Amino acid sequence: MKSKNVLVIGSSGGIGAACGSWLNQHGYRVYEFDRNEGYDATNPKDYKRVLAGVEYLDVLINAAGSVGMGGIEQCTIEEWHRILNDNLTSAFVACQSTLSLFNRGGSIILFSSVNGRHGGNALSGPAYAAAKAAIIGFARNLAKELAPRQIRVNVIAPGPVATSMLTRLPGEVIENLRATMPLRKIISPEEIAGTIGWLCSADANSITGAVIDINGGMWMG
């Protein structure tokens, strides 16, 4: 049995780093892709650089992304394009650029957000909500197309996670977010990684086109 190969985009911190660590500990060979290493998630050539010599992939995790702030009047066209590129275009390019390596089936996991489920607010801005909602439609389209090839495509939609995307906010704002969560707890990156590990396993072989909400009950739908 060949070992399983996984490409983690956004691997240097937060959720991406936790996913890479979990999968590495469970026997996966982890290939890292991160802007801090000079890679651009919207550039197909960079995927060829990272995966040069790799014969197959079993898992793709796109944890890359960025967030905005404010309302529509504060969102410039430059920020709109930047956030859609970082969150939505990166997912499209990642899937398209690696698809030929999924020659024995596999699992693709993309990231939405609770903001893509309930519309978000000024803490993350309109472009982020739009991009994260669009991820769900894109993933389901891809899940249908790739099902005959036994490639599953699913979405994780987290609520507030203890990463730099959250800790940039004032403590009072974080506590107000916690108060909106029935479980009253901020999510850890390791919780996300554990769920992804299960989603990559044989126990989830019949799950595709799903959105898994990990938000402490902040949004239920």
- Answer yes or no: are the C-beta atoms of 141 and 198 closer than 8 Å: no
- Answer yes or no: are the C-beta atoms of 26 and 73 closer than 8 Å: no
**Distances in whole angstroms, Cα of residue 204 to Cα of each of 123, 195, 196, 198, 221:** 34, 11, 10, 7, 21
> Looking at the DSSP assignment, which residues form a beta bridge with residue 4?
28
Pick the catalytic residue: 31, 39, 47, 128? 128
**Tokens at 213, concatenated:** 């909400």
User: Is 56 an annotated catalytic residue?
Assistant: no
- Answer yes or no: are the C-beta atoms of 196 and 22 closer than 8 Å: yes
Outline where the chain has alpha helix (H).
Answer: 14-25, 44-50, 77-84, 90-98, 114-118, 126-146, 164-167, 171-179, 189-200
Cα 63 to chain centroid distance, Å, stands at 4
Would you name the residues annotated as active-site residues? 128
